[in-house]
Amino acid sequence: MTSFTTRQRTHEIGIRFALGATDRDVLRLVLGQGLRLMLAGVCLGLALSYFLTRFLKSLLLGVTSTDALTFSTVTLLLCAVALFACFIPARWAMRVEPIVALRHK
């Protein structure tokens, strides 16, 4: 999703570069958008999983339904994957040439 929206914003990124934005500014723009979505998803997922594990309690073997280690490990793993997934389009966006991007539209 982040890759798709970044590609759609090629023209905007080109304008930002033409007006003096640095690679760091564009990286912050793309990563910020992706990380906000990730944070919302993680918060919603943790809340839902905390309440839904009560229904799956009989299927869990060797862990409690609210095992802190499992919740934190899965959360950290998903955050790392989301960060990596946002970093790839951010690197692409940093390499956009302003002239090419302005002609893109």
> What is the SS3 string spanning 35-82?
HHHHHHHHHHHHHHHHHHCCCCHHHCCCCCCCCHHHHHHHHHHHHHHH
Q: Is 21 helix (H, G, I), strand (E, B) or coil?
A: coil
Range of the domain at 42: 2-104
Res. 73: pLDDT tops 70: yes
Distance CA 89, CA 71 (A): 28
Say what the pLDDT of residue 104 is: 64
pLDDT of residue 90 exceeding 80, the answer is yes
Confidence of residue 105 (pLDDT cuts 50, 70, 90): low
Q: How many domains does the chain have?
A: 1
The more confident residue out of 104 and 23 is 23
The pLDDT > 90 percentage for the chain reads 35
The mean predicted confidence, pLDDT, of the chain is 86
Q: Using alpha carbons, list the distances in angstroms from residue 36 to 5, 56, 85, 89.
A: 14, 30, 13, 15
Taking only the tens place, the pLDDT of each residue in 35-49 is 999 999 999 998 998
Give the count of beta carbons closer than 10 Å to the beta carbon of residue 6.
23
The whole-model pTM stands at: 0.74
Each residue of 49-61: pLDDT tens digit? 888 887 777 777 7
